[in-house]
Amino acid sequence: MITKQKIMTLKLGTGLSVLALLALLTIIVSALPSFNAPARVQPMLMQMAAEHPNTMIGIIVQKSVQDKSVEELVAKLNGAVTEDLSIINAFAATLPANTVKELAAANGVKWVSLDAPIVQTACTLPCIDTSNLKSIYPQTIKATKLWNANGNLQGQGIAVAVVDSGINANHPDLLNADGTSRVIASVKMNSAATTTDDYMGHGTFVAGIIGGNGKASNGAYIGLAPQVNLVNVKISDDQGNATATNLIKGLQWIYNNRKQYNIRAVSLSLNVTVDESYKTSPVDAAVEVLWFNQVVVVVASGNQGHKALYPPANDPFVITVGASADNGTITSLDDYQTNYSGWGKTIDGISKPDLVAPGNNIISLLSNSQSAFAIAHPDHLVTGFSGSNQYFRLSGTSMAAPMVAGATALVLQSSPTLTPDQVKFRMVKTANFITGGSIELDAFNAVMSNQTKSLNTGTAINNMLKASNQNLGWTSLNWDSLNWDSLNWDSLNWDSLNWDSLNWNSLNWDSVYWGEDNLSLTRPSPNTTSLGKSK
Closest CA to 400 of 427, 367, 430: 427
Q: What is the pLDDT of residues 320-333, one digit of tens each?
A: 999 999 988 999 89
Give the torsion sign (CA, 212, 215, 219, 220).
Answer: negative
293/471: higher pLDDT:
293
> Per-residue pLDDT averaged across 247-271, rounded?
96
Average of per-residue pLDDT values in the chain: 81
In this prediction, residues 368-396 reach a mean pLDDT of: 87
Q: Is residue 236 within 8 Å of residue 194, measured between CB atoms?
A: no
pLDDT at residue 44 greater than cutoff 50: yes
Which tens digits make up the pLDDT trace of 138-176? Answer: 999 999 999 988 678 999 999 999 999 999 999 999 999
pLDDT of residue 460: 87
Helix or strand run (H / E) with residue 211: helix 202-211
Task: State residue 46's pLDDT score.
Answer: 83
Q: Which of 30-44, 73-87, 435-449 has the lowest mean pLDDT?
A: 30-44
Residue-level pLDDT at 459? 84
Q: Which pLDDT belongs to residue 247?
A: 93
The percentage of the chain sitting over the pLDDT mark of 90, rounded to a whole number, equals 60
Cβ distance 187 to 196 under 8 Å?
Answer: yes
Alpha-carbon gap, residue 143 to 427, rounded angstroms: 13
| Residues labelled as active-site residues | 164, 202, 398
More confident residue, 141 or 37: 141
Calpha distance 227→221 (Å, rounded): 14
- 3-state SS, residue 267: strand
Mean pLDDT of 55-77: 93
HSE of 463, CA atoms in CB hemisphere, 13 A: 7
Mean pLDDT of 268-284: 90
The reported pLDDT for the residue numbered 117 is 57
Q: At residue 245, does pLDDT exceed 80?
A: yes
Positive or negative: CA dihedral 193, 199, 205, 208: positive
Q: Which residue has the higher pLDDT, 223 or 511?
A: 223
Query: Global pTM?
Result: 0.70
pLDDT of residue 238: 94
| Cβ–Cβ < 8 Å for 165, 398 | no
Single-letter amino acid, residue 22: L
Which stretch, 231-235, 274-278, 378-382, 389-393, has highest mean pLDDT?
231-235
What is the DSSP secondary structure assignment for residue 243, as one 8-state letter? B
* pLDDT surpassing 80 at residue 430: yes
Sequence ranges of the chain with CATH classification 3.40.50.200: 137-508
> Strand, coil or helix: what is 407?
helix
Residues ≥6 apart with Cβ < 8 Å to 223: 138, 173, 207, 208, 209, 210, 211, 212, 213, 214, 364, 402, 406
Q: Please tell me which of 205-214, 378-387, 486-495, 522-531 the model is most confident about, judged by mean pLDDT.
A: 205-214
pLDDT at site 304: 86
The SS3 call for residue 84 is strand
Q: Does domain 7-119 have CATH number 3.40.50.450?
A: no
| Cα distance between residue 325 and residue 333, in whole Å | 11
Give the mean pLDDT of 374-398. Answer: 86
Rounded to an integer, what distance in angstroms lies between the CA atom of residue 164 and that of residue 463? 26
- Tell me the angle at which helices 18-29 and 43-51 cross, rounded to the nearest 10 degrees: 110
In the predicted model, is pLDDT for residue 510 greater than 80?
Answer: no
Q: Is the pLDDT of residue 19 over 80?
A: no
Percentage of residues of the chain with pLDDT beyond 70: 76
Mean pLDDT value across residues 122-133: 73
pLDDT at 89 over 80: yes
What number is the average pLDDT over the span 387-398?
86
Sign of CA dihedral 264, 159, 397, 449: positive
Q: Give domain 137-508's CATH architecture.
A: 3-Layer(aba) Sandwich (3.40)
User: Where residue 432 falls among pLDDT bands split at 50, 70, 90?
Assistant: very high
Q: CB-based contacts of 316: which residues, under 8 Å, 6+ apart?
A: 278, 348, 350, 456, 459
- Burial (CB < 10 A; 0-12, 13-18, 19+), residue 206, is buried
Contact in structure between 233 and 253 (CB atoms under 8 Å): yes
- For CATH 3.30.70.80, the residue range(s) in the chain are 7-119
Q: How confident is the model at residue 291 (pLDDT cuts 50, 70, 90)?
A: very high
pLDDT at 487: 41
What does the radius of gyration of the chain's CA atoms come to, in whole angstroms?
A: 26
Best mean pLDDT range from 22-31, 89-98, 481-490: 89-98
Residue 482, judged by CB atoms within 10 A of its CB (0-12, 13-18, 19+), counts as middle
What residue spans of 321-436 are helical by DSSP H? 372-376, 397-414, 420-429
Angle at alpha carbon of residue 461, lines to 460 and 464, rounded to 5°: 135
Nearest CA among 317, 319, 277, 265 for reference residue 482: 317
- pLDDT surpasses 50 at 493: no
DSSP string for residues in 170-181:
T-GGGB-TTS-B
pLDDT at 366 over 90: yes
